[in-house]
Structure 1
């Protein structure tokens, strides 16, 4: 199963193409605002609008043999802890080996932003290279999951 944290996910269509190619079910989890797919392998799940409700829904279900697509680092950490594989939108795979450093960096950056109220943005945009890397990594991860 592929779970997609679908709110503001720039690679939903790419994930659907890969899921379809491999005959794997995919669940788009969001607070609303996305159209359901006509693809029989793709299900849309709409959760309430409470903070992190989609993340909680995914984390409660994702486990061994599942792939989660998200840019949310705390969600990624919970899914990895539960045995799922995690791929960020830019194609970076998060694993038990690198999630600690990614969480620490996220927390450090949050502290830096809160210490400087004039600091704006700083994130880089989503590029064609990110999309291409996502397709490549997602394909590799899904093959590995299917192989066991």
Structure 2
């Protein structure tokens, strides 16, 4: 298993959890972003900078993943592509995307997007907090126990 991180919007506490997990489990962890990222010196952790542009990091991740890899992303269309390729996708809040729930997540995303484009103020997600960090760490541990 290789861990891929859609790193442009990934919260720092989640990156720190992933860095520790990569070292502990000796798993290659690749952070993909449009900007240069600082990562700890480690044979297991690397940052990959892709050109700027809409969904460039997402497309790179989708081209590189293999079945059984793990992708950390809050991007629902990317998560759908990951699930289609028989890989695992989890959000920074610890939600595991699967064939059973990805269509609903895509539908909700599209619905909210249509509301926003019609001028409706939908607000954003709740602030990222300790409960989210804990949910992510718990889900990650569950997934890595398989390795």
Q: TM-score, normalised by structure 1?
A: 0.92
Deviation at 1:20, TM superposition (A): 1.5
Q: Which residue of 1 aligns with 2:104?
A: 101
1:124 is paired with a residue whose SS is coil
Q: Which residue of 1 aligns with 2:52?
A: 49
Q: Which runs of 4+ in 1 moved over 6 A?
A: none
* Further displaced range: 120-129 or 19-28: 120-129
Deviation at 1:114, TM superposition (A): 1.4
Residue correspondences, number: 144
Name which of 86, 90, 114 aligns with 2:89: 86
Using a 3 Å threshold, how does the CA distance of structure 1 residues 36 and 19 change in structure 2: closer, same or farther? closer
Using a 3 Å threshold, how does the CA distance of structure 1 residues 31 and 100 change in structure 2: closer, same or farther? same
Compute the RMSD of aligned alpha carbons: 1.2
Distance in 1 between residues matched to 2:115 and 2:83, nearest whole Å: 26
Structure 1 unaligned segments of length 5 or more: list them.
Answer: none
Deviation at 1:65, TM superposition (A): 1.9
**Is 2:5 aligned against 1:7?**
no
**Is 2:24 aligned against 1:21?**
yes
Conserved? CA contact 2:115–2:122, under 8 Å = no
Q: TM-score, normalised by structure 2?
A: 0.93
Conserved? CA contact 2:6–2:57, under 8 Å = yes
